[in-house]
Protein backbone atom coordinates (compact mmCIF):
# COMPACT_ATOMS: atom_id res chain seq x y z
CA UNK A 1 0.00 0.00 0.00
CA UNK A 2 1.24 3.50 -0.82
CA UNK A 3 1.76 5.65 2.26
CA UNK A 4 -0.76 8.43 2.76
CA UNK A 5 -3.31 7.35 0.15
CA UNK A 6 -6.78 5.93 0.68
CA UNK A 7 -6.74 2.11 0.27
CA UNK A 8 -8.91 2.36 -2.86
CA UNK A 9 -6.53 4.78 -4.55
CA UNK A 10 -3.48 2.80 -3.49
CA UNK A 11 -5.00 -0.48 -4.71
CA UNK A 12 -5.94 0.95 -8.11
CA UNK A 13 -2.50 2.43 -8.71
CA UNK A 14 -0.55 -0.69 -7.72
CA UNK A 15 -2.81 -3.03 -9.72
CA UNK A 16 -2.96 -0.83 -12.82
CA UNK A 17 0.54 0.68 -12.93
CA UNK A 18 2.73 -1.19 -10.47
CA UNK A 19 5.27 0.38 -8.16
CA UNK A 20 5.48 4.19 -8.31
CA UNK A 21 8.57 5.87 -9.70
CA UNK A 22 10.94 7.93 -7.59
CA UNK A 23 9.52 11.15 -9.08
CA UNK A 24 6.03 10.08 -8.05
CA UNK A 25 6.96 9.10 -4.48
CA UNK A 26 8.94 12.29 -3.85
CA UNK A 27 6.33 14.44 -5.59
CA UNK A 28 3.45 13.00 -3.55
CA UNK A 29 5.33 13.60 -0.32
CA UNK A 30 5.96 17.25 -1.13
CA UNK A 31 2.44 17.90 -2.43
CA UNK A 32 0.84 16.14 0.55
CA UNK A 33 2.78 18.43 2.89
CA UNK A 34 1.13 21.44 1.19
CA UNK A 35 4.28 22.82 -0.43
CA UNK A 36 4.44 24.38 -3.87
CA UNK A 37 6.15 21.66 -5.91
CA UNK A 38 8.17 21.53 -9.13
CA UNK A 39 8.71 18.05 -10.58
CA UNK A 40 11.48 17.71 -13.16
CA UNK A 41 11.84 14.20 -14.57
CA UNK A 42 12.47 12.54 -17.95
CA UNK A 43 9.60 11.83 -20.32
CA UNK A 44 7.68 8.71 -19.39
CA UNK A 45 8.33 9.07 -15.63
CA UNK A 46 4.68 9.38 -14.62
CA UNK A 47 4.73 13.11 -13.86
CA UNK A 48 1.02 13.54 -14.61
CA UNK A 49 -0.12 11.19 -11.86
CA UNK A 50 2.61 12.54 -9.62
CA UNK A 51 0.73 15.84 -9.79
CA UNK A 52 -2.88 14.61 -9.94
CA UNK A 53 -3.09 11.59 -7.65
CA UNK A 54 -2.99 13.51 -4.37
CA UNK A 55 -5.90 15.70 -5.51
CA UNK A 56 -7.87 12.66 -6.65
CA UNK A 57 -7.20 11.05 -3.28
CA UNK A 58 -8.45 14.17 -1.47
CA UNK A 59 -11.64 14.14 -3.56
CA UNK A 60 -12.21 10.46 -2.77
CA UNK A 61 -11.74 11.03 0.97
CA UNK A 62 -13.95 14.13 1.04
CA UNK A 63 -16.63 12.35 -0.98
CA UNK A 64 -16.75 9.42 1.42
CA UNK A 65 -17.30 11.80 4.34
CA UNK A 66 -19.94 14.02 2.75
CA UNK A 67 -21.44 14.77 -0.70
CA UNK A 68 -19.00 16.52 -3.01
CA UNK A 69 -20.27 19.89 -4.20
CA UNK A 70 -20.03 20.68 -7.91
CA UNK A 71 -17.06 23.03 -7.58
CA UNK A 72 -13.67 23.35 -9.24
CA UNK A 73 -10.90 22.04 -6.99
CA UNK A 74 -8.01 21.55 -9.44
CA UNK A 75 -7.05 23.68 -12.44
CA UNK A 76 -4.66 22.00 -14.89
CA UNK A 77 -2.95 24.31 -17.40
CA UNK A 78 -1.25 22.96 -20.53
CA UNK A 79 0.43 24.95 -23.32
CA UNK A 80 -1.17 22.70 -25.95
CA UNK A 81 -4.85 22.14 -26.69
CA UNK A 82 -4.07 18.58 -27.78
CA UNK A 83 -2.25 17.87 -24.52
CA UNK A 84 -5.18 19.27 -22.53
CA UNK A 85 -7.59 16.94 -24.31
CA UNK A 86 -5.19 14.04 -23.80
CA UNK A 87 -4.91 14.66 -20.06
CA UNK A 88 -8.69 14.84 -19.77
CA UNK A 89 -8.99 11.51 -21.57
CA UNK A 90 -6.35 9.86 -19.40
CA UNK A 91 -8.04 11.06 -16.21
CA UNK A 92 -11.17 9.14 -17.18
CA UNK A 93 -9.55 5.74 -16.51
CA UNK A 94 -8.59 6.25 -12.84
CA UNK A 95 -11.96 7.87 -12.12
CA UNK A 96 -13.85 4.97 -13.71
CA UNK A 97 -11.64 2.32 -12.08
CA UNK A 98 -11.96 3.88 -8.63
CA UNK A 99 -15.76 3.85 -8.83
CA UNK A 100 -15.72 0.19 -9.81
CA UNK A 101 -13.32 -0.73 -6.99
CA UNK A 102 -15.53 1.14 -4.55
CA UNK A 103 -18.63 -0.71 -5.73
CA UNK A 104 -16.83 -4.04 -5.41
CA UNK A 105 -15.81 -3.08 -1.86
CA UNK A 106 -19.31 -2.01 -0.89
CA UNK A 107 -18.38 1.66 -0.69
CA UNK A 108 -20.18 4.52 -2.36
CA UNK A 109 -17.90 7.29 -3.60
CA UNK A 110 -19.14 10.31 -5.51
CA UNK A 111 -18.56 10.80 -9.18
CA UNK A 112 -15.36 12.80 -9.61
CA UNK A 113 -15.84 15.00 -12.66
CA UNK A 114 -13.37 16.52 -15.11
CA UNK A 115 -13.89 18.83 -18.07
CA UNK A 116 -11.69 20.44 -20.69
CA UNK A 117 -11.97 24.09 -21.72
CA UNK A 118 -9.91 25.10 -24.77
CA UNK A 119 -10.55 26.71 -28.11
CA UNK A 120 -11.87 23.31 -29.29
CA UNK A 121 -14.61 23.18 -26.63
CA UNK A 122 -18.09 23.58 -28.12
CA UNK A 123 -20.55 26.21 -26.89
CA UNK A 124 -22.84 23.50 -25.49
CA UNK A 125 -19.95 21.99 -23.51
CA UNK A 126 -19.02 25.43 -22.17
CA UNK A 127 -22.60 26.07 -21.07
CA UNK A 128 -22.81 22.67 -19.37
CA UNK A 129 -19.56 23.40 -17.54
CA UNK A 130 -20.98 26.64 -16.15
CA UNK A 131 -24.18 24.91 -14.99
CA UNK A 132 -22.28 22.06 -13.33
CA UNK A 133 -18.65 22.96 -12.63
CA UNK A 134 -16.20 20.02 -12.77
CA UNK A 135 -13.93 19.05 -9.89
CA UNK A 136 -10.93 19.03 -12.27
CA UNK A 137 -10.73 21.70 -14.97
CA UNK A 138 -8.28 21.10 -17.82
CA UNK A 139 -7.41 24.18 -19.87
CA UNK A 140 -4.73 26.23 -21.66
CA UNK A 141 -3.12 29.55 -20.58
CA UNK A 142 -5.25 31.56 -22.99
CA UNK A 143 -8.51 29.83 -22.04
CA UNK A 144 -7.75 30.30 -18.34
CA UNK A 145 -7.34 34.02 -19.02
CA UNK A 146 -10.76 34.05 -20.70
CA UNK A 147 -12.35 32.08 -17.86
CA UNK A 148 -10.97 34.59 -15.34
CA UNK A 149 -12.33 37.51 -17.35
CA UNK A 150 -15.86 36.32 -18.22
CA UNK A 151 -18.26 36.93 -15.33
CA UNK A 152 -19.90 33.51 -14.89
CA UNK A 153 -16.79 31.41 -15.45
CA UNK A 154 -14.82 33.68 -13.10
CA UNK A 155 -17.19 32.71 -10.30
CA UNK A 156 -16.63 29.05 -11.15
CA UNK A 157 -12.88 29.36 -10.47
CA UNK A 158 -13.23 30.83 -6.97
CA UNK A 159 -13.16 27.41 -5.28
CA UNK A 160 -9.87 26.20 -6.79
CA UNK A 161 -7.29 24.88 -4.33
CA UNK A 162 -4.58 23.60 -6.67
CA UNK A 163 -3.21 24.75 -10.02
CA UNK A 164 -0.98 22.42 -12.08
CA UNK A 165 1.19 23.97 -14.82
CA UNK A 166 2.38 21.24 -17.18
CA UNK A 167 5.34 21.54 -19.57
CA UNK A 168 6.25 24.79 -17.87
CA UNK A 169 9.47 25.08 -19.86
CA UNK A 170 7.44 25.72 -23.02
CA UNK A 171 6.28 29.14 -21.82
CA UNK A 172 8.82 30.44 -19.31
CA UNK A 173 11.00 33.25 -20.63
CA UNK A 174 8.48 34.28 -23.31
CA UNK A 175 5.70 36.85 -23.63
CA UNK A 176 3.28 33.96 -23.33
CA UNK A 177 4.92 33.02 -20.04
CA UNK A 178 4.58 36.59 -18.71
CA UNK A 179 0.91 36.50 -19.69
CA UNK A 180 0.43 33.19 -17.83
CA UNK A 181 2.26 34.48 -14.74
CA UNK A 182 -0.16 37.42 -14.49
CA UNK A 183 -3.11 35.10 -15.05
CA UNK A 184 -1.94 32.90 -12.16
CA UNK A 185 -1.75 35.94 -9.90
CA UNK A 186 -5.27 36.95 -10.89
CA UNK A 187 -6.44 33.41 -10.09
CA UNK A 188 -4.66 33.53 -6.73
CA UNK A 189 -6.32 36.84 -5.85
CA UNK A 190 -9.73 35.51 -6.88
CA UNK A 191 -9.40 32.39 -4.74
CA UNK A 192 -8.22 34.49 -1.79
CA UNK A 193 -11.45 36.53 -2.01
CA UNK A 194 -13.49 33.33 -1.73
CA UNK A 195 -11.53 31.44 0.93
CA UNK A 196 -9.83 34.26 2.80
CA UNK A 197 -6.52 32.46 2.32
CA UNK A 198 -3.94 33.67 -0.22
CA UNK A 199 -2.59 30.12 -0.59
CA UNK A 200 -3.26 28.40 -3.91
CA UNK A 201 -0.97 25.38 -4.15
CA UNK A 202 1.04 25.45 -7.36
CA UNK A 203 2.52 22.36 -9.01
CA UNK A 204 4.83 22.57 -12.02
CA UNK A 205 5.82 19.72 -14.35
CA UNK A 206 8.56 19.51 -16.96
CA UNK A 207 11.10 17.15 -18.45
CA UNK A 208 13.57 19.80 -19.62
CA UNK A 209 14.33 22.94 -17.63
CA UNK A 210 17.49 24.86 -16.71
CA UNK A 211 18.23 26.51 -14.35
CA UNK A 212 15.67 24.69 -12.28
CA UNK A 213 15.73 27.26 -9.45
CA UNK A 214 14.61 29.96 -11.88
CA UNK A 215 11.72 27.79 -13.04
CA UNK A 216 10.65 27.24 -9.43
CA UNK A 217 10.64 30.99 -8.78
CA UNK A 218 8.56 31.57 -11.91
CA UNK A 219 6.05 28.95 -10.75
CA UNK A 220 5.63 30.30 -7.22
CA UNK A 221 5.85 34.02 -7.94
CA UNK A 222 7.40 36.82 -5.92
CA UNK A 223 4.93 37.21 -3.07
CA UNK A 224 6.41 37.56 0.42
CA UNK A 225 3.99 35.02 1.92
CA UNK A 226 4.31 32.34 -0.76
CA UNK A 227 6.85 30.15 1.02
CA UNK A 228 9.38 28.04 -0.80
CA UNK A 229 9.02 25.51 -3.56
CA UNK A 230 9.94 21.85 -3.18
CA UNK A 231 12.05 20.88 -6.20
CA UNK A 232 11.86 17.21 -7.20
CA UNK A 233 14.74 16.94 -9.65
CA UNK A 234 15.06 13.49 -11.20
CA UNK A 235 17.16 14.84 -14.06
CA UNK A 236 16.29 14.84 -17.75
CA UNK A 237 18.71 12.26 -19.15
CA UNK A 238 17.61 8.89 -20.49
CA UNK A 239 19.43 6.30 -22.52
CA UNK A 240 18.56 7.20 -26.13
CA UNK A 241 19.28 5.86 -29.59
CA UNK A 242 19.91 9.10 -31.46
CA UNK A 243 21.78 9.68 -34.72
CA UNK A 244 22.05 12.02 -37.72
CA UNK A 245 21.15 10.73 -41.21
CA UNK A 246 23.49 11.93 -43.98
CA UNK A 247 22.36 11.77 -47.63
CA UNK A 248 24.56 10.34 -50.38
CA UNK A 249 24.23 13.54 -52.41
CA UNK A 250 26.09 16.59 -51.05
CA UNK A 251 24.22 19.03 -48.84
CA UNK A 252 24.32 22.69 -49.83
CA UNK A 253 22.94 25.98 -48.57
CA UNK A 254 19.57 25.01 -50.07
CA UNK A 255 18.17 21.49 -50.32
CA UNK A 256 18.15 20.06 -53.84
CA UNK A 257 15.33 17.89 -55.18
CA UNK A 258 17.84 15.04 -55.34
CA UNK A 259 18.47 15.19 -51.59
CA UNK A 260 14.77 15.49 -50.84
CA UNK A 261 14.12 12.38 -52.92
CA UNK A 262 16.80 10.50 -50.98
CA UNK A 263 15.28 11.61 -47.69
CA UNK A 264 11.78 10.50 -48.69
CA UNK A 265 13.12 7.10 -49.74
CA UNK A 266 15.09 6.76 -46.50
CA UNK A 267 12.08 7.78 -44.43
CA UNK A 268 9.91 5.24 -46.24
CA UNK A 269 12.51 2.55 -45.52
CA UNK A 270 12.70 3.46 -41.83
CA UNK A 271 8.91 3.50 -41.56
CA UNK A 272 8.83 0.03 -43.11
CA UNK A 273 11.33 -1.25 -40.53
CA UNK A 274 9.28 0.03 -37.56
CA UNK A 275 5.73 -0.51 -36.43
CA UNK A 276 4.91 3.17 -35.79
CA UNK A 277 6.94 6.25 -36.75
CA UNK A 278 6.42 9.89 -35.82
CA UNK A 279 7.98 12.42 -38.21
CA UNK A 280 8.45 15.95 -36.84
CA UNK A 281 8.81 19.02 -39.05
CA UNK A 282 8.98 22.72 -38.19
CA UNK A 283 6.14 24.19 -40.29
CA UNK A 284 2.62 23.24 -41.30
CA UNK A 285 3.45 23.52 -45.01
CA UNK A 286 6.33 21.08 -44.56
CA UNK A 287 4.03 18.66 -42.71
CA UNK A 288 1.65 18.51 -45.66
CA UNK A 289 4.49 18.24 -48.18
CA UNK A 290 6.29 15.39 -46.40
CA UNK A 291 3.03 13.52 -45.77
CA UNK A 292 2.18 13.79 -49.47
CA UNK A 293 5.52 12.41 -50.66
CA UNK A 294 5.50 9.61 -48.09
CA UNK A 295 1.96 8.63 -49.09
CA UNK A 296 3.22 8.10 -52.64
CA UNK A 297 5.77 5.62 -51.29
CA UNK A 298 3.94 3.77 -48.50
CA UNK A 299 0.27 4.37 -49.33
CA UNK A 300 -2.27 7.08 -48.56
CA UNK A 301 -3.88 5.12 -45.73
CA UNK A 302 -0.53 4.57 -43.97
CA UNK A 303 0.46 8.21 -43.36
CA UNK A 304 -1.19 11.57 -42.66
CA UNK A 305 -0.33 15.03 -41.36
CA UNK A 306 -1.11 16.61 -37.98
CA UNK A 307 -0.87 20.36 -37.31
CA UNK A 308 -2.78 23.28 -35.88
CA UNK A 309 -4.52 24.36 -39.09
CA UNK A 310 -6.45 21.09 -39.22
CA UNK A 311 -9.88 20.88 -37.68
CA UNK A 312 -10.31 19.34 -34.25
CA UNK A 313 -11.97 16.29 -35.80
CA UNK A 314 -9.11 15.63 -38.23
CA UNK A 315 -6.48 16.03 -35.50
CA UNK A 316 -8.28 13.65 -33.15
CA UNK A 317 -8.82 11.17 -35.98
CA UNK A 318 -5.12 11.19 -36.82
CA UNK A 319 -4.16 10.66 -33.17
CA UNK A 320 -6.68 7.83 -32.82
CA UNK A 321 -5.50 6.10 -35.99
CA UNK A 322 -1.89 6.28 -34.86
CA UNK A 323 -2.74 5.01 -31.38
CA UNK A 324 -4.74 2.05 -32.73
CA UNK A 325 -2.05 1.08 -35.24
CA UNK A 326 -4.04 2.05 -38.34
CA UNK A 327 -1.27 4.47 -39.34
CA UNK A 328 2.33 3.53 -40.01
CA UNK A 329 3.51 7.15 -39.78
CA UNK A 330 2.27 10.55 -38.70
CA UNK A 331 3.92 13.80 -39.85
CA UNK A 332 3.47 16.47 -37.19
CA UNK A 333 4.54 19.93 -36.10
CA UNK A 334 4.89 20.89 -32.42
CA UNK A 335 1.21 19.97 -32.03
CA UNK A 336 2.30 16.51 -30.83
CA UNK A 337 5.48 17.54 -29.07
CA UNK A 338 4.62 17.80 -25.39
CA UNK A 339 3.83 14.52 -23.68
CA UNK A 340 0.65 13.56 -25.55
CA UNK A 341 -0.32 9.91 -25.25
CA UNK A 342 -0.44 8.69 -28.84
CA UNK A 343 0.26 5.08 -28.04
CA UNK A 344 3.42 3.13 -28.78
CA UNK A 345 5.87 4.90 -31.10
CA UNK A 346 8.99 3.02 -32.20
CA UNK A 347 10.86 5.80 -33.99
CA UNK A 348 10.91 9.60 -34.18
CA UNK A 349 12.39 11.33 -37.24
CA UNK A 350 13.16 15.06 -37.19
CA UNK A 351 13.30 16.88 -40.54
CA UNK A 352 15.51 19.94 -40.11
CA UNK A 353 17.04 21.12 -36.87
CA UNK A 354 14.57 21.71 -33.99
CA UNK A 355 16.97 24.51 -32.90
CA UNK A 356 16.79 23.71 -29.16
CA UNK A 357 18.09 20.79 -27.10
CA UNK A 358 14.89 20.68 -25.06
CA UNK A 359 12.75 20.50 -28.19
CA UNK A 360 14.84 17.63 -29.57
CA UNK A 361 14.58 15.70 -26.29
CA UNK A 362 10.83 16.29 -26.08
CA UNK A 363 10.24 15.12 -29.63
CA UNK A 364 12.50 12.06 -29.49
CA UNK A 365 10.92 11.26 -26.12
CA UNK A 366 7.62 10.55 -27.89
CA UNK A 367 9.16 7.17 -28.80
CA UNK A 368 9.74 4.62 -26.07
CA UNK A 369 7.35 6.71 -23.96
CA UNK A 370 7.31 4.36 -20.98
CA UNK A 371 9.28 4.14 -17.77
CA UNK A 372 11.51 1.37 -19.16
CA UNK A 373 11.42 2.37 -22.85
CA UNK A 374 14.39 3.65 -24.89
CA UNK A 375 13.65 6.66 -27.11
CA UNK A 376 14.91 6.28 -30.69
CA UNK A 377 15.39 9.23 -33.02
CA UNK A 378 16.94 10.20 -36.35
CA UNK A 379 17.69 13.76 -37.50
CA UNK A 380 17.64 14.77 -41.18
CA UNK A 381 19.55 18.05 -41.75
CA UNK A 382 18.24 20.15 -44.64
CA UNK A 383 21.35 22.25 -45.33
CA UNK A 384 25.03 22.51 -44.45
CA UNK A 385 24.27 24.94 -41.64
CA UNK A 386 21.54 22.60 -40.45
CA UNK A 387 24.02 19.71 -40.40
CA UNK A 388 26.32 21.66 -38.09
CA UNK A 389 23.41 22.50 -35.81
CA UNK A 390 22.09 18.91 -35.74
CA UNK A 391 25.58 17.65 -34.91
CA UNK A 392 25.84 20.16 -32.05
CA UNK A 393 22.42 19.10 -30.75
CA UNK A 394 23.45 15.44 -30.90
CA UNK A 395 26.64 16.14 -28.95
CA UNK A 396 24.79 18.27 -26.39
CA UNK A 397 22.17 15.58 -25.79
CA UNK A 398 24.86 12.96 -25.25
CA UNK A 399 26.66 15.23 -22.78
CA UNK A 400 23.44 15.89 -20.88
CA UNK A 401 23.38 19.62 -21.65
CA UNK A 402 20.21 21.71 -21.70
CA UNK A 403 19.29 25.12 -23.07
CA UNK A 404 19.52 27.81 -20.42
CA UNK A 405 16.34 29.82 -19.95
CA UNK A 406 16.78 33.40 -21.15
CA UNK A 407 14.76 35.77 -19.00
CA UNK A 408 13.00 38.52 -20.97
CA UNK A 409 12.02 41.93 -19.66
CA UNK A 410 8.41 42.24 -18.53
CA UNK A 411 6.34 43.08 -21.65
CA UNK A 412 4.22 46.15 -21.02
CA UNK A 413 1.70 45.37 -23.78
CA UNK A 414 0.84 42.13 -21.97
CA UNK A 415 0.54 44.11 -18.74
CA UNK A 416 -1.89 46.55 -20.38
CA UNK A 417 -4.01 43.67 -21.61
CA UNK A 418 -4.18 42.03 -18.17
CA UNK A 419 -4.89 45.32 -16.36
CA UNK A 420 -7.80 46.00 -18.70
CA UNK A 421 -9.16 42.49 -18.17
CA UNK A 422 -8.85 42.52 -14.36
CA UNK A 423 -10.30 45.99 -13.82
CA UNK A 424 -13.24 45.08 -16.06
CA UNK A 425 -14.14 42.43 -13.45
CA UNK A 426 -14.13 44.68 -10.36
CA UNK A 427 -12.59 47.96 -9.15
CA UNK A 428 -8.98 47.99 -8.00
CA UNK A 429 -6.94 50.44 -6.01
CA UNK A 430 -3.83 51.42 -7.94
CA UNK A 431 -1.51 50.38 -5.11
CA UNK A 432 -3.34 47.06 -4.74
CA UNK A 433 -3.10 46.32 -8.45
CA UNK A 434 0.57 47.28 -8.59
CA UNK A 435 1.26 44.87 -5.72
CA UNK A 436 -0.63 42.07 -7.53
CA UNK A 437 1.36 42.62 -10.73
CA UNK A 438 4.70 42.57 -8.90
CA UNK A 439 3.85 39.17 -7.40
CA UNK A 440 4.15 37.69 -10.92
CA UNK A 441 7.78 36.66 -11.31
CA UNK A 442 8.45 38.37 -14.69
CA UNK A 443 7.14 41.67 -13.23
CA UNK A 444 8.81 41.41 -9.82
CA UNK A 445 11.02 44.45 -10.55
CA UNK A 446 8.36 46.55 -12.30
CA UNK A 447 9.02 50.17 -11.35
CA UNK A 448 6.08 52.29 -10.30
CA UNK A 449 6.65 54.90 -13.04
CA UNK A 450 6.40 52.16 -15.69
CA UNK A 451 3.22 50.82 -14.09
CA UNK A 452 1.74 54.34 -13.95
CA UNK A 453 2.63 54.90 -17.61
CA UNK A 454 0.69 51.78 -18.60
CA UNK A 455 -2.26 52.91 -16.47
CA UNK A 456 -2.18 56.31 -18.18
CA UNK A 457 -2.17 54.67 -21.60
CA UNK A 458 -5.21 52.43 -20.98
CA UNK A 459 -7.03 55.24 -19.12
CA UNK A 460 -6.36 58.08 -21.58
CA UNK A 461 -6.40 56.23 -24.90
CA UNK A 462 -4.82 58.02 -27.84
CA UNK A 463 -5.43 61.32 -29.61
CA UNK A 464 -7.15 61.56 -33.00
CA UNK A 465 -8.43 64.56 -35.03
CA UNK A 466 -11.85 63.77 -33.53
CA UNK A 467 -10.65 63.63 -29.94
CA UNK A 468 -9.24 60.92 -27.71
CA UNK A 469 -10.19 57.30 -28.43
CA UNK A 470 -9.75 53.81 -27.02
CA UNK A 471 -9.82 54.67 -23.32
CA UNK A 472 -10.33 51.26 -21.70
CA UNK A 473 -10.08 51.98 -17.97
CA UNK A 474 -11.68 54.71 -15.87
CA UNK A 475 -9.12 56.25 -13.49
CA UNK A 476 -10.43 57.94 -10.35
CA UNK A 477 -7.40 60.13 -9.66
CA UNK A 478 -8.80 61.40 -6.37
CA UNK A 479 -9.33 57.99 -4.77
CA UNK A 480 -6.71 56.18 -6.88
CA UNK A 481 -9.22 53.56 -8.04
CA UNK A 482 -9.37 51.86 -11.47
CA UNK A 483 -12.55 50.55 -13.10
CA UNK A 484 -13.11 49.01 -16.49
CA UNK A 485 -15.13 51.08 -18.94
CA UNK A 486 -18.12 49.81 -20.87
CA UNK A 487 -16.93 47.39 -23.50
CA UNK A 488 -13.53 46.77 -21.91
CA UNK A 489 -14.51 43.26 -20.75
CA UNK A 490 -15.72 42.33 -24.24
CA UNK A 491 -12.54 43.71 -25.79
CA UNK A 492 -10.45 41.70 -23.31
CA UNK A 493 -12.34 38.52 -24.19
CA UNK A 494 -11.93 39.00 -27.93
CA UNK A 495 -8.31 40.19 -27.92
CA UNK A 496 -6.63 38.03 -25.29
CA UNK A 497 -3.37 36.12 -25.47
CA UNK A 498 0.26 36.70 -26.34
CA UNK A 499 0.97 34.19 -29.11
CA UNK A 500 2.02 35.57 -32.48
CA UNK A 501 -0.03 34.46 -35.49
CA UNK A 502 2.82 32.27 -36.72
CA UNK A 503 2.82 30.46 -33.37
CA UNK A 504 -0.89 30.26 -32.69
CA UNK A 505 -1.58 27.46 -30.22
CA UNK A 506 2.12 26.50 -30.00
CA UNK A 507 1.45 24.31 -33.01
CA UNK A 508 4.29 25.11 -35.34
CA UNK A 509 7.17 26.15 -33.14
CA UNK A 510 8.27 27.19 -29.71
CA UNK A 511 6.74 30.44 -28.39
CA UNK A 512 9.06 33.40 -28.62
CA UNK A 513 11.15 31.77 -31.39
In sequence order, what DSSP letters do the residues of 235-292 get, joined into one string? -S----EEEE---SSPP-SS--HHHHHHHHHHHHHHHHHSS-EEEE-SSHHHHHHHHH
Neighbouring-strand partners of residue 75: 137, 163
> Which residue in 448, 476, 506, 497 sits closest to 175, CA to CA?
497
Element spanning 30, H or E: helix 22-32
Give CA–CA dist 18/32, Å, rounded: 21
pTM above 0.75, yes or no: yes
Give CA angle at 35 (32, 38), nearest 5°: 100
Give CA–CA dist 362/491, Å, rounded: 36
Contacts of 89 (CB under 8 A, 6+ apart): 341
Return the pLDDT at 505. Answer: 38
Element spanning 36, H or E: strand 36-40
Return the pLDDT at 511. Answer: 34
Helices (H), 332-477: 357-364, 384-399, 412-423, 430-438, 448-460
> Which residue in 402, 503, 457 sits closest to 174, CA to CA?
503
Return the pLDDT at 307. Answer: 81
Return the pLDDT at 371. Answer: 57
Return the pLDDT at 343. Answer: 56
Spell out, as residue ranges, where the chain has pLDDT lower than 70.
Answer: 1, 43-44, 81-85, 194-198, 208-209, 224, 236-238, 335-343, 369-373, 406-408, 467-468, 500-513
Return the pLDDT at 398. Answer: 85
Neighbouring-strand partners of residue 331: 279, 305
| Three-state secondary structure call for residue 278 | strand
Give CA–CA dist 436/456, Å, rounded: 18
Return the pLDDT at 504. Answer: 42
Helices 284-298 + 257-273 axis angle, to 10: 60
Amino acid sequence: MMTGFHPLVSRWFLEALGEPTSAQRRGWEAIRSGQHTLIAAPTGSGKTLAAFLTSIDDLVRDGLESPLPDAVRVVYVSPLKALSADIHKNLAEPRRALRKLAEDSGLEIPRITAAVRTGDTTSSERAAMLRTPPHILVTTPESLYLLLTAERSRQMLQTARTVIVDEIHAVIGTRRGAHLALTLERLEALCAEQSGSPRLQRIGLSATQKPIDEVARFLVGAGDNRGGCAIIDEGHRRATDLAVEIPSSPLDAVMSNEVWSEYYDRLAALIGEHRTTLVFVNTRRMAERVAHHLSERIGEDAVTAHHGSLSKERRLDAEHRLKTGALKALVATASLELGIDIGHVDLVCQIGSPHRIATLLQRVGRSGHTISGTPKGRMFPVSLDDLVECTALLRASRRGDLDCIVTHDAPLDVLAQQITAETSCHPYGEDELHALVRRAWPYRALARPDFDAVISMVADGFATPRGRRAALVHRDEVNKVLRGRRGSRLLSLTSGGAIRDTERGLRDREPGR
